[in-house]
Amino acid sequence: MEYRKHGNSGTVVTSYCLGTMTFGQETDEATSHLIMDDYIKAGGNFIDTANVYSAGVSEEIVGRWLKARPSEARQVVVATKGRFPMGAGPNDLGLSRTNLNRALNDSLRRLGVEQIDLYQMHAWDAVTPIEETLRFLDDAVSAGKIAYYGFSNYLGWQVTKAVHVARANHWTAPVTLQPQYNLLVRDIEHEIVPACQDAGMGLLPWSPLGGGWLAGKYQRDVMPSGATRLGENPNRGMESYGPRNAQERTWQIIDMVAEIAKERGVSAAQVALAWVAARPAVTAVILGARTREQLADNLGAVAVTLSTEEMERLNRVSAPAMADYPYGERGVSQRHRKMDGGR
């Protein structure tokens, strides 16, 4: 598995990260430990979790695995997150010093470690001053509780503001952003990806298979059923399947992924994952497997390097919609005319 720089830090991580959102809810502890074993045997060294995954149980499962395998634990880069409610009180959420101090200490305890390698703010907090959050994170780095920090689900202006506030105050700066990113969801390319590139931050894409759509789990105009995430949750299936099914772009992308997969003799999931891994600024793609079989198939993407022609086919069919202004060609030409004194 390829090693890449962990954002703008000096640490290196593998190009595929193991996500553990299903641990403790959809995947029991014994299977979760086997999945982590399989991932490590495949050469991976990066595991991602969060305090809200299964209400803390995911962190506990990862922590018990780390304790039982001290030699592997020394090599693994462990990431977790804080921000969302873990209690019913008014200060049990957000990015305040009060909540983050409690959340970080609880995550350290559940994981059974003295230091978390990457601590991520799970989402923006419009209530807490950014200075309060960043000062807490800088203090946590100085105290040795975290090695690095990053963000998840931030907008481009939020990333840029945080980076510049940290630099202006000579505080530790963020190293990564964890956004949703896949062939079906490319809107982060408008401003979020450029903001991260400007700051030297790496991307850790979640949902690289679009909730299973890009793995070929769903069919046009056929409501999900059986052992799929939407099929096992009829209410969610009704809400989520219809809008995406109605978009012709969805099926054009899925068909192109399937076409390239057939030409190569690999799975559709491997093609979709290889595309994300090859995108600019991507440090590691997060694999969210519920079973060992899913992980084995996903890890097959390690051996898939798409050609320039294949990337162009996928880029073309999945190109995100561009409004005329300010992103489209017409918007660009309008700006140029304005700068030249025209109208």
Angle at the Cα of 10 from the Cα atoms of 4 and 13, rounded to 5 degrees? 30
95-104, Cβ contacts within 8 angstroms, sequence gap of 24 or more: 95/121, 95/125, 95/128, 95/132, 95/133, 96/125, 96/127, 96/128, 96/132, 96/133, 97/132, 97/133, 97/135, 97/136, 100/133, 100/136, 100/137, 100/140, 101/136, 103/51, 104/140, 104/145, 104/146
DSSP for 95-151?
A: SSHHHHHHHHHHHHHHHT-S-EEEEEE-S--SSS-HHHHHHHHHHHHHTTSEEEEEE
**245-254 — which CB contacts under 8 Å span 24+ positions?**
245/218, 245/220, 245/221, 249/317, 249/318, 250/184, 250/213, 251/220, 252/317, 253/183, 253/184, 253/214, 253/314, 253/317, 253/318, 254/213, 254/214, 254/216
Report the distance separating Cα 76 and Cα 36, nearest Å: 11
CA distances to 64, 70, 121, 290, 296 from 106, rounded to whole Å, are 15, 21, 15, 25, 32
Active site annotation includes 53: yes
Q: Helix 292-299 and helix 268-277: axis angle, to 10°?
A: 60
Which of 3, 16, 39, 53 is catalytic? The answer is 53
Please give, one letter per residue, the 3-state secondary structure of 149-178.
Answer: EEEECCCHHHHHHHHHHHHHCCCCCCCEEE
Query: What crossing angle do the helices spanning 130-142 and 97-111 adopt, rounded to 10°?
Result: 40
**Which positions are catalytic?**
53
